[in-house]
Amino acid sequence: MPELPEVETVMRGLAPSMEGAVISTAQINRPDLRWPFPDNMSERLTGARVLALRRRSKYILAELDRGETLLVHLGMSGRMTVSGDPLGQFVHDHPAHQKHDHVVFDMDNGARVTFNDPRRFGAMDLIATDGVEDHKLLAVLGPEPLGNSFDENYLIEALKTRNTPIKSALLDQGIIAGLGNIYVCETLFRCEISPKRKARELAKTQIASLVPVIREVLQGAIKAGGSSLKDFRQANGELGYFQHSFDVYGREGEPCRREKCEGEITRMTQSGRSTFYCSQCQR
């Protein structure tokens, strides 16, 4: 599933073609994805101007001039790609319609935005803009890890009574919004913390050390256009490249890259997800 860097990358790629533009037509090719689409979705979107795009956790939010905001979740395999962009950001013309092109926006500037989702775990909803933060998917989220409200004091307080492994605690979207499996594994490696350690047993200095590293890992991934493992593509159809910088994720059995460490990367399952770490230098 795309994590914060991938969603941020897609949002930034969509912005030049969508912000300030009008959705000339909104073509909805099926009644649902993970959940049913909102009532009269095509009519509510057609003719609406996109005022601004932003990301909240793993969701893209498009504020419209009609007092509503379009919420988009990419799910496991969803892609939002742009073609025919008049700004010259994307060189390819509009492609032929594909089997899993479930939602297509034709913008008044000539751009076309296509939501393709083979596995249909994605979602879209329309929310009253003045109530966005109260939406059931957003109200439960913790602070953004790249925002000002996420700092050492916050994380120390949030984890002090958590009796779960630190890996599981960092994946809790109510504690940190948008942080996913790949980037938690990479963060814990850089901080030399075992993913098996109980969150509440970590020293305050260890918890504090996580904050700048989480930001460093996420910003590095965004700069690289995200990580492309299976389905992820940027808005221009290109792959992300951060997977080439992984220290532990997906490297089971390979030697640890930390200088003077003779360990190798181990994989285990935590809460149904693969965890990659070095048992020798992550304590």
Identify the sign of the CA torsion 189, 57, 39, 104: negative
* Residue 79: burial class (beta carbons within 10 Å; 0-12, 13-18, 19+): buried
Q: Is 58 a catalytic residue?
A: yes
Q: Do 199 and 24 meet the contact criterion of CB atoms below 8 Å apart?
A: no
Q: Is 3 a catalytic residue?
A: yes
Quote the CA–CA distance of 269 and 199 in Å, as a whole number: 17
Among candidate residues 34, 198, 257, 273, the one labeled active-site is 273
* Residue 38: burial class (beta carbons within 10 Å; 0-12, 13-18, 19+): middle
Q: Do 281 and 256 meet the contact criterion of CB atoms below 8 Å apart?
A: yes
272 token code pair: 């149904």
Among candidate residues 2, 16, 143, 145, the one labeled active-site is 2
Closest of 2, 1, 4 to residue 179, by C-alpha:
4
Quote the CA–CA distance of 239 and 241 in Å, as a whole number: 6
Among candidate residues 56, 58, 112, 190, the one labeled active-site is 58
Q: Is 144 a catalytic residue?
A: no
Q: Is 273 a catalytic residue?
A: yes
Which positions are catalytic? 2-3, 58, 273
